[in-house]
Amino acid sequence: MTQTPTKPANKLLAYAAVMDVLLVVIFALSGRSSHEESLTVGGVFTTAWPFLVALAAGWLLTRNWLRPVRLWPNGVCIWLITVAGGMALRILSGETAAVPFVIVATVVLGVFLLGQRGIAVLVARRTVKH
């Protein structure tokens, strides 16, 4: 028997999905901005799409919709899949993945993807206590 998700669960799922996508786009925007590259929709999409595809793969592989803000193992796996998959797709599409970029992407996406989950867990715990 399957259960239908409750409204709070649906809200948490929507929050996690939107935040993950938004944070990957912010990562792409900040990277392009710091290198004085074009901030057009097309330019940002060029930088973001490999990481967004890898993020979606991470969600599928971890079945993240079941526990959308779970830090371990979901969040950690999604972070690592997003970085590794994003870099692989960049390279396969003819872009570069220099070591400094890999390091910065790993740190920034880790802070973003794990941080938002940590904050969500803290807020949820605090809400349950009150």
Look at residue 5 in the predicted model and tell me its pLDDT: 54
Residue type, 60: L
74-117 residue pLDDT tens? 999 999 999 999 999 999 999 999 999 999 999 999 999 999 99
d(CA 47, CA 123): 32
Q: What is the model's pLDDT at position 38?
A: 82
pLDDT of residue 1: 47
Do residues 49 and 130 lie in contact, with contact meaning Cβ atoms separated by under 8 Å? no
**In the chain, beta strands by DSSP E:** none
Q: Bigger pLDDT: 8 or 125? A: 125
**pTM score:** 0.91
pLDDT tens, position by position, 8-32 = 688 999 999 999 999 999 999 999 8
